[in-house]
Chains A and B, each alone.
Chain A
Amino acid sequence: MSDLADREGPEPGQELLRLEGLEVHFPVRGGPLDRLTGHAAVVVRAVDGVDISIRSGEVLALVGESGSGKTTIGRVIVKLTRQTAGRIWLDDEDVSDLWGVRALRTYRRRIQIVFQDPYETLNPRQSIYDFVAEPLVVNKMVSSDQERRRRVMDALDAAGLRPSEEFAARFPHELSGGQRQRVVIAGALVMDPQIVVADEPVSMLDVSIRTELLRLMLDLRAERNLAYLFITHDLSLAWVIADRIAVLYLGKVMEIGPAERVIRSARHPYTAALVSVSPSPDPPKEAGAPNRTILVGETPDAAHVPAGCRFHPRCPLAFDRCRSEEPPLFDVGGGQRAACWLAEGGRELPVLPASAAVSADGA
């Protein structure tokens, strides 16, 4: 098995999936009194205008903290949650309004998901075989029991669970966390999808097990030209695995581009701050605080998105225009785009002050 660094897949192919202006707003119903007094219902703007495309065979990491909307985007793509505005294109076909079990049959074969918690994704009463075979059964994808069995065993084998016959007969509680997650991956593979949404697929696994799973995912990408939408809060993880990284904040993309560029020459202050506080296992530098830009406060509630640039209250480089106008994603070259007024015209970011933030936002 080769190393992660060697696992560059084939050149990312053409665009498979595109999200345009995606919005997911959840109305929170007020009490009866609110309705009487005419108070507007509070709206949680979980996803607030996102444009993203996924190309075949690429690993696109969606990085964000809690409240960024990254999980919701994943759910919209696999049609678990319905978008409230915006359009979704799969291969130039508008699938935004595609809904319902029958209508989604073809769609679902092409896009699958791996969830975060391997202990929860498996029904404790379902055998491994049944779990992996279920997509085939539900979609009536095979004509004979033998064919089904073969495909299940192939999927288990591809996920590294060998001997596959033995694993197929087991139940979830007999497997370790890493093994369960492999089962989940096998269950996603059995339909031969083109895109796999992986929502924090390794965050609940031990550090030494994570690498195995990541290697598996990248091997599968190389073999099958799979594309991954890799959702994670861990920027360091995205750094190691992704071709492109999109940084999300409060429902919008702050920066997107090739991993190397986004991390090494971030054009958005939020990205730069995240990079600076990502801990590293290297021994501490010489005396003097490391250059960490710790932001003040916490991500605001998605029901109360700040006006102008939504990051401006916490941004150490904010100025007047940021408070009133929301910046679009500016192209800064090399496939990288950043939603910051400072990035307009392709300028580089000034050095971030190392703010010593201690107090939490009282909100």
Chain B
Amino acid sequence: MTAPVERELPKLADPSAPLLEVEGLRTHFKLGRETVYAVDGVSFRLDRGEALGIAGESGCGKTTTALSLVGLLPSNAEVVEGSIRLYGIDLAGRSETGLRRYRWREIAMVFQGAMNALNPVRRIRDQIAEPIVQRLGTGERDARRKAGDLLELVGIPRERGRAYPHELSGGMRQRAMIAMALACDPAIVIGDEPTTALDVMIQAQILELLERLRAELGLSLILITHDLSVIAETCDRVLIMYAGRVAEEGLVAEVFGHPRHPYTQKLLGAIPNIHVERRVLETIPGSPPDLRYPPPGCRFAPRCPAAMDVCRTDVPPEVRLADGVRVACHLYPPGSDGTPVVLPSGESGAS
């Protein structure tokens, strides 16, 4: 869909490798004496110009995954296993210095809650110019000019660069954050709940902006959100996470059109859709597992209406089906033809 803009690849890059390939990522937190298995075996791939949505509810590990990619994990977390290959270069477990060439220059992030990520006592323009100066070594004046260019690119009039964060509206702040992420012309932008706190009209504006930027700059996008509708409207592929693992992954049209994993089905069913008849909304009884003591076997089994005995003991293998969808569920064992299993209807009592 997008013609990749020719970019200068980092020295160690392997031009034939995929843009981003994550394999078997495990990121664990230390809470006191206990370990939280926040991300426990996540793999996916991002190609040039692609938009991948990572979806899941709170506690599923999607934000932790994103932070692992840019090396911004809190001090009590670490990537214990797995690889994060950018152009074939493994970034996992690299030190701050080792990441310097790549963070912001190849992968940048738009954080959740723009107000928290912006320095309240510095002008917007200066905050956008900062990474340009620091990482690209550009002079201050040139950097500020480039910052102005970026502001215009995201739809903020150049003059408003002199404003402080609190003088901007929520939507404008989010645009400023996007401008900041684009400062060093990255190949990949990760958006962590970029539109969650915004009104629906502003959300539509921001999403449209991201689409336009993808087309004009050949950006690749990873969109992290709990809002499946947003992913449906903007992403090419989607990765559904549950309790630190991948439940289902594939093209949006496939996964949303005929979801296979029971969690995906239930999640899709729980979203109100204004464009169809008023209908039953799904509920998923119970709550996600405590990731300090994850259940053996499939982590969704305690809440799954189709759970079988094997689900409680064996971790379901990830199986790639004919239409390219990857699913981790015992209902679709290796060799399965991939026909979606319709969930037994009838409510399980809530509460």
Interface residues of A (CB under 8 A from B): 1, 3-5, 65-66, 160-162, 176, 178, 182, 206-212, 214-215, 233-237, 239-240, 259, 263, 273-275, 277-284, 290, 292, 294-295, 298-299, 356-360, 362
Contacts and interface: CB of A to CB of B under 8 A. Distances in A.
Contact of B209 (A176, A212, A215, A358): A358
Interface string B27-42: 0000000000000000
Contacts, number: 161
Given A66-B199, A214-B281, A358 B350 contact: no
Given A281-B232, A295-B201, A358 B273 contact: no
Contacts of A1: 347, 349-350
B98 interface: no
B272 A65 contact: no
Interface centre among A209, A211, A360 (most CB of B within 10 A): A360
A176 B58 CA distance: 12
Given A208-B266, A360-B175, A236 B273 contact: yes
A273 B204 CA distance: 11
Interface in B174-231: 175, 199-205, 208-209, 212, 226-230
Given A207-B57, A239-B274, A240-B272, A284 B232 contact: yes
Contacts of B155: 358-360
Contacts of A160: 350-351
Interface residues on B, range: 35 or more
Contacts of B349: 1
Given A283-B253, A299-B199, 4 more contacts: A66-B199, A211-B282, A278-B275, A281-B256
B279 interface: yes
A358 B205 contact: yes
A218 B271 CA distance: 17
Interface centre among A162, A178, A263, A298 (most CB of B within 10 A): A298
A240 B272 CA distance: 6
A235 B274 contact: yes
B273 A280 contact: yes
A208 B284 contact: yes
B200 A211 contact: no
B268 interface: yes
Contacts of A356: 208
B16 interface: no
B204 A292 contact: yes
6 contacts: A208-B267, A209-B287, A240-B281, A281-B273, A358-B155, A360-B172
B227 A279 contact: yes
A4 B279 contact: yes
A236 B349 CA distance: 25
Contacts of B229: 236, 279-281
Contacts of A4: 278-281
B273 to A, nearest CB: 5
Contacts of B256: 281-283
B169 interface: yes
B139 interface: no
B230 to A, nearest CB: 6
B201 A277 contact: yes
Contact of A176 (B272, B273, B279, B287): B287
A278 B272 CA distance: 10
A5 B282 CA distance: 12
B283 A211 contact: yes
A212 B252 contact: no
A281 B228 contact: yes
A14 to B, nearest CB: 25
Interface centre among B200, B226, B230, B256 (most CB of A within 10 A): B200
Given A1-B349, A282-B256, A358-B205, A208 B283 contact: yes
